[in-house]
Structure 1
Amino acid sequence: MRSLILAALLLGTAACSEQAAAPPEPSAEETIAKAEQQAERREEAVQNSEGLSDAQEFIDEIAVDGTVEIGMAKIAAEQASRDEVKAFAEQAITFNQSLLQDLSAAAGAAGALQVNTVLSDQDERNFAQLRGARSIDDMYLERTRERYEDMAEDLSEYAAEGEVAALKEWAAKAVPMLQDHRDELAAL
């Protein structure tokens, strides 16, 4: 009997030491809580710095504009009636995806900034309106011209007056690329 009790104690001790050797995996709730805390710290850092706050606002505007452009271009690439509009739309998808990737890299280099591409309800309604238009070609071209004007203004302004060096440098490089793309659009 004594030997059975000793064996049980030894097995229990061995099991406890094995469990102590491997730290437990965090639960899903703990992982989510940690991610939320990190996001809150980043937001606080951005809010506590006027330059970072302006930079985040700039990033948000450009990211949404680029995302909307990609969405509109996808619709035009599928539904436009003129081949040159479809070809431009395909280029616009590639251009804006590249623009967003470069923006994400610049935001990462700047530190606490993030690229957010949450679209408004109005943007979603505009997609639906474009999908249902009789002349997608003209509507797409007109809306793209307007959005590119806004993007060019935002990029030029940040390149000249921005406070975050990595974003300022990125914006200065993006301005001529956008201008080239706008020139192609003007030819349509």
Structure 2
Amino acid sequence: MNKVTFAAASVLSLALGATNVNAQSVGEKTGVNSVLGVAPSTADFLKEAALSDLTEIATSKLAQERGDADAKTFASQMITDHSKTSEELKALVSGDMKAALPTALDETHQKKVDKLKDAKADSFTSDYASMQVSAHKDAVSLFERYAKGGEDPKLKDWAGKTLPHLQHHLEMAQNLNKKK
């Protein structure tokens, strides 16, 4: 086995071993799972989906205050939709799973919000739009991978049903980004 294959296998085995919702696997954290098309563990999926919603809501609240008219319209839709998916996710985990979802942003996601807070007025909407494109690409990848190969059948089904909305959000973000 060559060094690259061994390293990928090592990272993959570590990634598949995570069970605590607050501990993210190396493969998901580094993006290796996404590159390899590997489904995230249920714990990773729950954590990343919840953090994604929290980040979308936080950045969109900033956009409602500081963005132009197009950004404010988009932000309002993001707050509505991501608040809904947050509630759906909470309902799913409070049933059979009994998992603890993050209720606050981790350091990585907080830095993204802080970066947007610090954006200059003339570049805010452009920065927000770019951030939304990136965030929704990540979310689409996460949900696609879990819908195809996730461990929990109810969560897998929910990921599949939520995916078209995230794909639509990505298109909307890309259109907003083109205008800027």
Contact kept? 1:73, 1:92, Cα under 8 Å: yes
1:125 has 2:111 as partner: yes
Could you tell me which of 154, 166, 169 is aligned with 1:166?
154
Distance 1:122 1:113, change over 3 A: closer
Within 2, Cα distance between the matches of 1:163 and 1:128?
34
Q: Is the CA contact 2:64–2:72 (under 8 Å) kept in the aligned structure 1?
A: yes
Are 1:72 and 2:70 counterparts? Answer: no
Deviation at 1:125, TM superposition (A): 2.9
Task: Please say if 1:94 is aligned against 2:80.
Answer: yes
Q: Does 1:146 align with 2:134?
A: yes
Change (3 A) 1:164 1:122: closer
Higher Rg of the two aligned structures: 1
Compute the RMSD of aligned alpha carbons. 1.7
1:92-130 CA distance string (max 9 Å, x none): 111111111111122223323232233222332332221
- Aligned pair count reads 137
Cα separation, 2, equivalents of 1:100 and 1:171? 12
Whether the aligned pair in 2 keeps the contact of 1:109 and 1:166 (CA below 8 Å) is no
Structure 1 match to 2:92? 106
Q: 1:90: Cα distance to partner?
A: 0.9
> In the aligned structure 2, how far is the partner of 1:140 from the partner of 1:113?
31
Q: In 2, Cα distance between the equivalents of 1:159 and 1:114?
A: 21
**Which ranges of 4 or more aligned residues in structure 1 deviate by more than 4 Å?**
none
Aligned to 2:49: 62
- 8 Å CA contact 1:77–1:86 kept in 2: the answer is yes
- Percent identity of paired positions between Structure 1 and Structure 2: 27
Normalising by structure 2, what TM-score?
Answer: 0.70
Segments of structure 2 that go 5 or more residues without pairing to the other structure are: 1-18, 21-39
Determine if contact 2:140/2:163 at 8 Å carries over to the other structure.
Answer: yes
**Is residue 110–residue 165 contact of structure 1 (8 Å, CA) maintained in 2?**
no
Q: Distance in 2 between matches of 1:160 and 1:96?
A: 22
Question: C-alpha distance in 1, partners of 2:146/2:118?
Answer: 36
SS of structure 2 residue aligned to 1:96:
helix
- Which one-letter code corresponds to 1:125 in the other structure? K
Match of 2:35 in 1: none
